[in-house]
Structure 1
């Protein structure tokens, strides 16, 4: 026997368990809001930019080959910035209670394609500390790169500002609540269909026809109990007996 489910049946299932879907979605959104606002620690982000460009004399013309070399060096500089040779000095300079590996996890170095500008981005739970780490990393790298690679082609293009990192970049409560709400709705819908699938009780005549593949000939409706009458005057049994006695005596 092939069982088919219409779109109307699906809507009926959702309508039947709408309270369950709404309840799960509200619980998920509430849990997400509590975690985002009261449990997760805000993380602040700030960044500074460095320019990789060899200083030129007045007689030196624009050299395309030198520019391309500087662009290729940026990928090498990205690794050097996050190396202990630079980060250990940043830790000593700022008196940070962290290792070079731990500090490197807070720093991200990025650059656009074919660009001589690299951006040092720092994330930390303290906005001022994030700003100090970004500026100190750029400054230490500028001083150390001539010793490491015997080149002097790095300059600081812009420093990190504390005002730019006042608002935390994560967590994002509104986004987290929206995601939790969608996930809660999906879980609620899935659970509703699962409960409906596991429910094998017979409720309607249509269920009988689907199971037995036979037409329903008749239906017995539920008969409610007739309420007992109150304050009903009973017949006078004494009078009836006396009348019957007189009849028998005549």
Structure 2
């Protein structure tokens, strides 16, 4: 049996289950806020840029072939930056209590398309550590690449710096709470519709016609108890007056 729910019916269902929807939404928002502010550790980010330029030994000036050669080497440089050959000296210089694999997870390297600028980004729970690691990686790479590839065409373009009052990149409590609000409302509305769909009790004459396929030939009106009490009291008053008049006669 195909059922069609009108907009009025839908609004009626949501209005009837409004407390349920609000409760689920409020619960998800509270959980998201507690997790974001208390349980999740803030993570900060610092970035530095290095420039892959022309070799200092070349005195003939820039040309297209030099630029193209440097661009081809950038992918190789990106791999070398995250290799133990660079990360192990960084760990030794900063006395980090971690392995090169653990440090590798904190570092991301990338460059824009057809750009000779390489971005080294470090994420850490302390902004000072992120800045130190980023700058140290750039310095170690600049010094070690000469021995690794026998080239001298890397320079530090923009060192990482710590900004006062810098906000963490994650978690973002407001974004998390907003997402939880939307998810909570969707879950509440979905549960309200599911409960109404599973509710097969007969509530009115429309339900009789819809579920039982039977015509309604009569309706028993709802009588207010206050009206019954008022009518009973009026009937008793009239009866007592009638009896009083009979006795007087």
Both proteins in one fold, TM over 0.5: yes
**After the TM superposition, which of the residue ranges 124-133 and 18-27 deviates more from structure 2?**
18-27
Deviation at 1:24, TM superposition (A): 0.9
Match of 1:107 in 2: 107
Q: Deviations over 1:65-87 (max 9, x none)?
A: 11011111111111111111100
Query: Segments of 4+ in structure 1 off by > 6 A?
Result: 231-235
Contact 1:45 1:168 in 2 (8 A): yes
Match of 1:53 in 2: 53
Match of 1:168 in 2: 168
**After the TM superposition, which of the residue ranges 117-126 and 216-225 deviates more from structure 2?**
216-225
**After the TM superposition, which of the residue ranges 7-16 and 92-101 deviates more from structure 2?**
7-16
Match of 2:68 in 1: 68
C-alpha distance in 1, partners of 2:142/2:57?
A: 20
C-alpha distance in 2, partners of 1:58/1:220?
A: 102
Match of 1:85 in 2: 85
Match of 2:244 in 1: none
Q: Deviations over 1:82-111 (max 9, x none)?
A: 111100110000000011000000000010
**After the TM superposition, which of the residue ranges 43-52 and 158-167 deviates more from structure 2?**
158-167
Q: CA distance change for structure 1 residues 2 and 161 in 2, over 3 Å: closer, same or farther?
A: closer
Contact 1:53 1:155 in 2 (8 A): yes
Contact 1:45 1:165 in 2 (8 A): no
Match of 1:215 in 2: 215
C-alpha distance in 2, partners of 1:182/1:160?
A: 37
1:182 and 2:179 aligned: no
C-alpha distance in 1, partners of 2:152/2:58?
A: 17
Aligned with 2:122: secondary structure? strand
Match of 1:34 in 2: 34
Contact 1:51 1:155 in 2 (8 A): yes
C-alpha distance in 2, partners of 1:24/1:31?
A: 11
TM-score with structure 2 length normalisation? 0.88
C-alpha distance in 2, partners of 1:12/1:234?
A: 48
TM-score with structure 1 length normalisation? 0.87
C-alpha distance in 2, partners of 1:141/1:71?
A: 17
1:202 and 2:208 aligned: no
Contact 1:44 1:130 in 2 (8 A): yes
Match of 1:145 in 2: 145
C-alpha distance in 2, partners of 1:164/1:110?
A: 26
Q: Deviations over 1:14-63 (max 9, x none)?
A: 12112211111111111111111111111110000000012356851321
C-alpha distance in 2, partners of 1:2/1:168?
A: 52
Match of 1:10 in 2: 10
Q: CA distance change for structure 1 residues 2 and 140 in 2, over 3 Å: closer, same or farther?
A: closer
Contact 1:120 1:134 in 2 (8 A): yes
Q: Which runs of 5+ in 2 are unaligned?
A: 242-249
C-alpha distance in 2, partners of 1:157/1:200?
A: 71
What do you get for the CA RMSD once the two structures are aligned?
A: 2.4
